[in-house]
């Protein structure tokens, strides 16, 4: 059965599970939802943190939509309907994407989203109290799997079979 995979939406979930670490060592991390100064994705401009968050979310969604290889899902026999891939990563103190983890219905989908996230460009790191910190980011990728419509060739072959069956 052929499957058609469409990324119908790629929404950003602002993770709230991580808490701010009070230490200034290499392990300090802050959730995207509570960071004072968000990481800045290339092309995002402005002074308002809310607008920078929105811009970053839109840019990441666009990036994933452009780079995610939809054909990976075709041979996986995924159930029709909505499918989700959850990916979590950290933008470290240097603005580099690290610690990418994914959860999906199939390991191939996990591998593909990890590959895409690792391709993201260098960013300006987020800051808490004026100090660069790692920022945790969560992203659910939602896509629709539909049965592909019958091609002309397939229809022609089916009609020939039906005609032969009627004659016999």
Where does residue 73 rank: exposed (0-12), middle (13-18), buried (19+ CB within 10 A)? buried
Taking 50 as the pLDDT cut, the residues of the chain under it are 1-27
User: At residue 91, what are phi and psi to the nearest 5 degrees?
Assistant: -100, 110
Domain total in the chain:
1
Q: Which residues pair with 125 in a beta bridge?
A: none
Contacts of 86 by beta carbon, 8 Å cutoff, 6+ apart: 102, 103, 104, 138, 139, 140, 141
pLDDT tens digits, one per residue of 38-51:
999 999 988 788 89
From the list 86, 70, 74, 93, the residue with the least C-alpha distance to 138 is: 86
pLDDT tens digits, one per residue of 1-13:
344 433 433 333 3
- Rounded Cα–Cα distance for residues 165 and 157 (Å): 12
How many CB atoms neighbour CB 137 within 10 A? Answer: 28
| 57's tokens | 């979310």
Q: Residue 25's pLDDT is what?
A: 44
Q: Residue 149's pLDDT is what?
A: 65
Query: Which contacts of 91-94 are long-range, i.e. CB under 8 A and separated by 24 or more positions?
Result: 91/39, 91/123, 91/125, 91/126, 91/134, 91/135, 91/137, 92/125, 92/134, 93/26, 93/125, 93/132, 93/133, 93/134, 94/122, 94/125, 94/132
Q: Residue 6's pLDDT is what?
A: 39
By the 8 A CB rule, do 124 and 158 touch? no
Q: Residue 19's pLDDT is what?
A: 35
Structural domain boundaries enclosing 120: 3-167
Q: Residue 150's pLDDT is what?
A: 63
């Amino acid at each position: 059965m052929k499957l058609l995979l469409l990324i119908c939406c790629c929404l950003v979930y602002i993770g709230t599970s991580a808490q701010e670490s009070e230490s200034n060592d290499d392990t300090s991390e802050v959730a995207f939802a509570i960071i004072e100064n968000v990481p800045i994705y290339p092309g995002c401009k402005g002074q308002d943190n809310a607008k920078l968050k929105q811009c970053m979310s839109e840019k990441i969604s666009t990036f994933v939509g452009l780079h995610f290889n939809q054909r990976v899902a075709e041979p996986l026999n995924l159930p029709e309907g909505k499918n989700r891939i959850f990916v979590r990563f950290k933008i470290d103190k240097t603005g580099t994407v690290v610690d990418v983890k994914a959860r999906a219905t199939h390991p191939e989908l996990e591998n593909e989203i990890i590959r895409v996230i690792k391709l993201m460009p260098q960013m300006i790191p987020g800051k808490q109290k004026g100090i660069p910190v790692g920022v945790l980011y969560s992203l659910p990728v939602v896509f629709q799997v539909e049965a592909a419509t019958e091609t002309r060739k397939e229809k022609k072959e089916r009609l020939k079979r039906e005609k032969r069956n009627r004659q016999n």
